[in-house]
A and B are shown apart, each in its own frame.
Chain A
Amino acid sequence: MKRKFWQNIMATLSLLPAWAVLLVAYTGSMIWSIQISFTSSRALPSNNFVGFDQYRRLFSTSRWLVSLENLVIFGVLFVVICLVLGFLLAVALDQRIRFENGFRTIFLYPHAMSFIVTGLIWQWMMNPTLGIQKSVRDLGWESFAFDWIGSRDLAIYALVVAGVWQAAGLVMVLMLAGLRGVDAELWKATRVDGIPAWRVYISIVLPLIKPMIVTSVVLLGIGVVKSYDLVVALTGGGPGMASELPGKFVMDYLFERQNIALAQAASTVMLITVLAVLVPWLYMQYFRKSGRSPT
């Protein structure tokens, strides 16, 4: 009994530094950031409070509105395409094909590259005067056009293409691990029943690998919210501001444009958006669990 008490004390003590870091570094700076968003700070923090002025200015800034809209387009397409593509790749690899290791490496390899490198490579490929468009035209197909990054309407989809290329491999590996975890007996049983393979994947395997899907969605979602480097390297937010994302807005106003209050207002809005998505999900995960029977 006494021993257990001491063990608990030791555990608490050793966790204290982590708690301190969590409280001071994370929560503390989060609160400070939110506080700054209510001031008139420019290059340096000040304590001159101006209420919701920065938020008013933020939502009358067309660049911010464009960024938000782009975040939704980019986020939805990026997550959905990555999931579908990753799952299909995983299923393909799960057919016990030859050179599986080789394919796995090839598909996962883009993920080892930073978004800066990814962005730069795709920028060159999609540049109409250097890349794919020029090569195809040089081959004789004169009317061929692939100038997404130069087009106001399509630049945001160029970001999706590059992002998917980079992240789909990771989803594939996660899903593949899930597929390999499916009991072989189950497959045998479905074969005995004569159920077609695609039906098994959709109705039986997908629900079984739900944890992998959730993990993928969380990882991809984090990637979407913090996406900054990809835009900077691929389109620079352009043409004009057609492919701006909120992360870049915050960084620009924090440093180059020296308005940290506006930048913090923007990041606070981002935080609230993320919480608005996360809280219901956490609620579903943790609070409804008690009423559910174990599977």
Chain B
Amino acid sequence: MKHFLKAALAGVVIFAGAGVALAQEGPKAEVIHWWTSGGESAAVKTFAESYSKAGGVWVDAAIAGGDNARAAAVNRMIGGNPPAAVQFNIGKQFDDLVDKGMLRNLDDVAVANKWKETLPKPVLDAITRNGHIYAAPINIHGQNWMWYSKGAFEKAGIANPPKSFDELFADLDKLKAAGVVPLALNGQVRHMALIFNSLLVSRGGHDLYIKVYKDHDEKAVNSPEFKKVVEEFGKFRGYVDAGYSSRLWNDATSMLIKNTAGVQFMGDWAKGEFNLAQKAQGKDYGCVVGPGTQNYIIGGDVFIFPKSNDAKQTAAQDLLAKTLLTPEALIAFNLKKGSIPSRTDVDMKAFDQCAQDAAAYIKNPANQLPDYGLVMPPDVVGSIQDLIGEYFTDPKFTPDDFVERFADAISAAG
């Protein structure tokens, strides 16, 4: 028995040794990210598989919470021991790192793999600084989706999903009359802002959205169109239940799953919750962009690649950047993540209907809108979210005050 154990142990040691030896052959890339929930980690695993198929070794460094993950990565970069790649949200989050010269420029990989030809313009703009590309965008998370519960709609006698905000308000009234919570909302101000932005796009249109968020145009903020959006946004106060303020977004989604609420405005990450509850798209729940628009507010995730003096690390980064943006890797990842591929030349037939619709919309450049986080620094986005949350929760807050303070807030974006 003792001998057997010894032999077994020795075998394990040799086996493990061989594993390590094997692992050290390919270029090794340590990747920091914050995809830790069930669906997310399944998604990131597909990247690890794609990378090992391409001959590399993915060393996973998942850190729960975006703030924590980014802080850890930045600390390591300052400390001189950078990871090969770090997940960031697409947008201004990594501006400072670019300015300090801490990131690798990916121009070569981008040119060789036709990023400029295949990425939507808002995405390309968001990863470009001074004409150079500094991040690898891997997905597009649509920000202006509206989800609805088919069961709740049935209870209220609504046959078809709303095609405009006018129809939506009529439907919300019907839901309310049927004793269903019309709008499933949660307490986080950033998610209240999703409703506001959806309304701004659907009602105000593409140009107003761009003028307000991208050009920081105070005239547009003071326009009657913008004020109308603000007034209409206030109407949503009447369609929420008493418990929303301490709810989390996924609990709000489960109200749709249980048919106790009618609609929810949330990005396409909400799909993960429906999938987890084994609800079928088109049968149990449905999706609408807007409603009433084909403009798609684009957000998402990128990987950045810290500069390194280590040639091995650089080689691993090159391979990683190239692999992540191959159509196969993008399809495998985005199927699990609920988002759509960042490249517009990817075959979408494996995806669900919502994702296919979104991909079809953004093929047209006139439908591509940047999320406000892509065009304004995080502190300005934060103060706009605060303002929207304050306005929504305080019925005494007048639209005129809102407009004035909104103009103030965007002026800080410079």
Residue numbers of A with Cβ under 8 A of B are 42-44, 57, 61-63, 123, 126-130, 147, 149-150, 152, 155, 234-236, 238-242, 252-253, 255-259, 262
Chain B residues lying within 8 Å of A63, measured Cβ to Cβ, are 383, 386
Known: A152-B394, A240-B393, A258-B379. A44 touches B412 (CB 8 A): no
Q: Which of A44, A127, A235 has most B Cβ within 10 Å?
A: A44
Residue numbers of B with Cβ under 8 A of A are 66-67, 70-71, 74, 93, 95-97, 100, 187-189, 241-246, 377-379, 381-383, 386, 389-394, 405, 412
Compute how far the CA of A262 lies from the CA of B412 in the bound complex, rounded to whole angstroms.
13
Q: Are A241 and B378 in contact (CB under 8 A)?
A: no
B387 to chain A, nearest CB (A): 8
Q: Are A130 and B243 in contact (CB under 8 A)?
A: yes
Q: Are B379 and A240 in contact (CB under 8 A)?
A: no
Chain B residues lying within 8 Å of A235, measured Cβ to Cβ, are 187, 245-246
12 CB-based A-B contacts, threshold 8 Å:
A44-B96, A61-B383, A62-B386, A152-B393, A234-B246, A235-B245, A238-B245, A242-B393, A256-B67, A256-B382, A258-B96, A262-B379
Chain A residues lying within 8 Å of B405, measured Cβ to Cβ, are 62
Q: Are A258 and B393 in contact (CB under 8 A)?
A: no
Q: Are A42 and B377 in contact (CB under 8 A)?
A: yes
Q: Are A236 and B379 in contact (CB under 8 A)?
A: no
Known: A236-B187, A236-B188, A257-B382. A129 touches B242 (CB 8 A): yes
Compute how far the CA of A258 lies from the CA of B96 in the bound complex, rounded to whole angstroms.
10
Known: A42-B95, A43-B95, A255-B67. A238 touches B378 (CB 8 A): no
Compute how far the CA of A133 lies from the CA of B379 in the bound complex, rounded to whole angstroms.
37
Known: A257-B379, A258-B377, A258-B379. A238 touches B389 (CB 8 A): yes
B82 to chain A, nearest CB (A): 14
Chain B residues lying within 8 Å of A61, measured Cβ to Cβ, are 383
Chain A residues lying within 8 Å of B378, measured Cβ to Cβ, are 256-259
Chain B residues lying within 8 Å of A128, measured Cβ to Cβ, are 242-243
Compute how far the CA of A258 lies from the CA of B391 in the bound complex, rounded to whole angstroms.
24
Chain A residues lying within 8 Å of B74, measured Cβ to Cβ, are 43-44
> Smallest CB-CB separation from B67: which chain A residue?
A255
Compute how far the CA of A96 lies from the CA of B344 in the bound complex, rounded to whole angstroms.
78
Q: Are A238 and B95 in contact (CB under 8 A)?
A: no
Q: Which of A126, A152, A155, A257 has most B Cβ within 10 Å?
A: A257
Chain A residues lying within 8 Å of B379, measured Cβ to Cβ, are 42, 253, 257-259, 262
Compute how far the CA of A57 lies from the CA of B382 in the bound complex, rounded to whole angstroms.
14
Q: Are A241 and B187 in contact (CB under 8 A)?
A: no
A53 to chain B, nearest CB (A): 11
> Smallest CB-CB separation from B397: which chain A residue?
A240
Known: A149-B245, A241-B389. 8 other contacts (CB 8 A): A44-B74, A149-B246, A155-B245, A238-B188, A240-B394, A242-B393, A256-B378, A259-B378
Chain B residues lying within 8 Å of A258, measured Cβ to Cβ, are 93, 96, 377-379
Q: Are A44 and B100 in contact (CB under 8 A)?
A: yes
Compute how far the CA of A262 lies from the CA of B378 in the bound complex, rounded to whole angstroms.
13
A115 to chain B, nearest CB (A): 16
Compute how far the CA of A238 lies from the CA of B377 in the bound complex, rounded to whole angstroms.
23
Compute how far the CA of A238 lies from the CA of B242 in the bound complex, rounded to whole angstroms.
13
B261 to chain A, nearest CB (A): 11
Chain B residues lying within 8 Å of A242, measured Cβ to Cβ, are 393
Q: Are B386 and A150 in contact (CB under 8 A)?
A: no
Compute how far the CA of A247 lies from the CA of B377 in the bound complex, rounded to whole angstroms.
22
Chain B residues lying within 8 Å of A126, measured Cβ to Cβ, are 246
Chain A residues lying within 8 Å of B70, measured Cβ to Cβ, are 255
Compute how far the CA of A234 lies from the CA of B381 in the bound complex, rounded to whole angstroms.
24
> Smallest CB-CB separation from A44: which chain B residue?
B96
Q: Are A150 and B242 in contact (CB under 8 A)?
A: yes
Q: Are A240 and B71 in contact (CB under 8 A)?
A: no
Q: Which of A63, A128, A240 has most B Cβ within 10 Å?
A: A240
Closest 7 CB pairs of A and B: A129-B243, A240-B393, A259-B379, A43-B96, A239-B393, A255-B67, A257-B382
A161 to chain B, nearest CB (A): 14
Q: Are B390 and A241 in contact (CB under 8 A)?
A: yes
Compute how far the CA of A235 lies from the CA of B247 in the bound complex, rounded to whole angstroms.
9
> Smallest CB-CB separation from A244: which chain B residue?
B386
